[in-house]
Amino acid sequence: MKKKHFLPPFLALALLALPLLAQTKLEPPSPEVAKTIQSALEKAQKGDLQGAIALVEPLRKPGAHPAALALLGSLYLQAGRPKDALELLDPISETEVAGPLILQNAARAALALNQTGKAEKYLKLAVAKAPGSPAARDLGLLLGGQGRLEESYLQLRPWALAHPDDVEARVSAAYDAVELERVPEATELLQGLADDNPRVRLLHGRLLLMQQKPREGMALLEPLLQNGPPGLNLSVRRYLAMGHLAVGESKAAIELLNGKVGDDPSLAVLLSKAHYQDGNPASAAAVLEPFARNLLAGEPSSPSERSLMADLAVEYGRALVAGSKWPEAIAALTRATQLNPDGLQGWQLLSRAQLAAGQRDDANKSMERFRQAESAQKSSSARLNEQQRDTEDPTGRNLQAAMALAAQGHVDDALSAIRQEIRLQPKDPRPRMAEVMTLLNAKRPKDARNAVDGALSSAPRNPDFLYLRGAIKMALRDLPGAEQDFRQTLQIKPDHVAAMSDLAVLLTTNGKKDEARQLLQKVLAIKPNDPVAKANLEKLGSS
């Protein structure tokens, strides 16, 4: 489903006088100009745009006050004259004088003239000056229309939650959430929206498919195939085909997708799977062959493209193996294992093709890689449980992925992903904890201190945040401050094991061994096998 860019209604013209301008030292307009602006506003509010423009246009001359020019530009925009509007608003928008409303109107004029780069620039400036303004909505829609879904979602989700009557923003944010596999958040955004809206129905159907409910999902989607808007038809076919494949109805999936693939490799993969499931590997290979020729030779530009290329290579290789086309299969499956070294199916099929082609040594090596990948993976039931957890808790899933990135040395990428979760789920303490721990593990205690201060500003009595601040102060050798934080943590949560353990270490350093011993004994009462507490208590000796 391709998102359309939708510009919300023009803001009340009563807002367009001085609030257009940023809070700068700019002198106010003269009384005469202010009076003209007020009169123009009154005319515009009564629907007389041309009369308002006629009043302000004489002020359009060298040295004119920015408030008058900004109002005239906004009136031009409302009157359907974006070129004239941008001619006035563009120079103002390049200065510090421009407030968020000027920037937003300049962006809208630029969009009307297909100057998307300029529109994005001005909307980002507007959002920086007023994060909760309608510019965030416009920016989210613009980015979503360009396929930049993560950036779009960061803008649209807060706006949609704060403005539940804005159906277009809610649906667009829900679309982003579905594409980003944030199922609970998509469900929240769609709650209460009726399925007589085709886009809402499509998203509800997709959510059911993602929740492993293919029959229910298809029941919602099927009416759209006959009665839905033409712009959604291909998306409806895609998701209906996915549902039919999930329940083993390959012929129905083929019927939906035949002649509809075009230049979309993801649809080609889906149709190929349907042909293979239907027992026709030759057709499965033929569907993918035009894409495999070009796509598999290049390098992916994003993780999602890498995943698609790996999927395509495996499906193409599988079909070629079934057709006994060993050299072609080996080439495709070798590429699949390069794109996804942890993929079991790629290594297994590659070993089979190599063995059939007489490449026994290579086949044994591929089978060994298969066994290594298999042993590293969890059991089927564990993977299913993990998949369900990932669906139900996208924040937890993404934090786990971020921790893996950090462990591989990609700390900045990990922090970027973590901070995105902080923005999307500001009330969830886990992303903030992850940010602090990542910075600590990267030996960046000063940055960690800034992060934990931000966490405490959102939740001043969170004992875990207080404990972490104490741990950071210890790392920075602020021992009195650390002791204060540990004690405050224990006032809020007396059984906080980490705070007791670290406070005991600090007290031991300060010669307060009796209190340290008591704390360690409490730790061992809660965690009898805690090796660190045992070792520290042994060092202290008996009282």
Task: Specify whether the CB–CB gap between 469 and 453 falls below 8 A.
Answer: yes
Mean pLDDT of 112-136: 94
Q: Judge whether 295 lies within some domain.
A: yes
Least Cα distance to 1 among 169, 186, 203 occurs for 203
Quote the crossing angle between the two packed helices 183-190 and 198-210, to the nearest 10°.
Answer: 150
| Residue the block writes with tokens 């990990």 | 414
Q: Judge whether 500 lies within some domain.
A: no
CATH of the domain at 345: 1.25.40.10
**Domain end position, chosen among 146, 181, 212:** 146
**Domain end position, chosen among 332, 351, 382:** 382
pTM: 0.79
Question: Residue 309 — very low, low, confident or very high, per pLDDT cuts 50/70/90?
Answer: very high
- What are the tens digits of pLDDT across the range 409-449? 999 999 999 999 999 999 999 999 999 999 999 999 999 99
> Buried b / exposed e across 19-40, counting CB within 10 Å, b at 16+?
ebbbeeeeeebeeebbebbeeb
**Cα–Cα distance measured from residue 324 to residue 329, given in angstroms and rounded to the nearest whole number:** 8
Which range marks the domain in which residue 313 is found? 273-382
- What are the tens digits of pLDDT across the range 157-201? 999 999 999 999 999 999 999 999 999 999 999 999 999 999 999
Coil, helix or strand for 408?
coil
| Residue the block writes with tokens 């507007």 | 126
- What are the tens digits of pLDDT across the range 247-300? 999 999 999 999 999 999 999 999 999 999 999 999 999 999 999 988 778 888
Q: What is the mean pLDDT of the chain?
A: 89
**Domain end position, chosen among 382, 416, 434:** 382
What does the pLDDT read at residue 389? 65
Q: Judge whether 351 lies within some domain.
A: yes
Q: Judge whether 26 lies within some domain.
A: yes
**Cα–Cα distance measured from residue 300 to residue 281, given in angstroms and rounded to the nearest whole number:** 26
Task: Specify whether the CB–CB gap between 331 and 364 falls below 8 A.
Answer: no
189 contact partners, CB below 8 Å, separation of at least 6: 157, 160, 161, 170, 171, 173, 174, 177
What does the pLDDT read at residue 7? 36
Mean pLDDT of 204-224: 96
What does the pLDDT read at residue 543? 55
User: 21 phi and psi, to 5 degrees?
Assistant: -95, 145
Mean pLDDT of 108-119: 96
Q: Judge whether 202 lies within some domain.
A: no
Q: Judge whether 522 lies within some domain.
A: no
Q: What token pair was written down for 384?
A: 């299913």
What does the pLDDT read at residue 169? 97
Largest pairwise CA distance in the chain: 93
User: 523 phi and psi, to 5 degrees?
Assistant: -60, -45
Q: Judge whether 501 lies within some domain.
A: no
Q: Judge whether 167 lies within some domain.
A: no
| Domains identified in the chain, total number | 2
**Cα–Cα distance measured from residue 505 to residue 499, given in angstroms and rounded to the nearest whole number:** 10
Question: Residue 345 — very low, low, confident or very high, per pLDDT cuts 50/70/90?
Answer: very high
Triad 386, 392, 394: Cα angle to 5°: 85
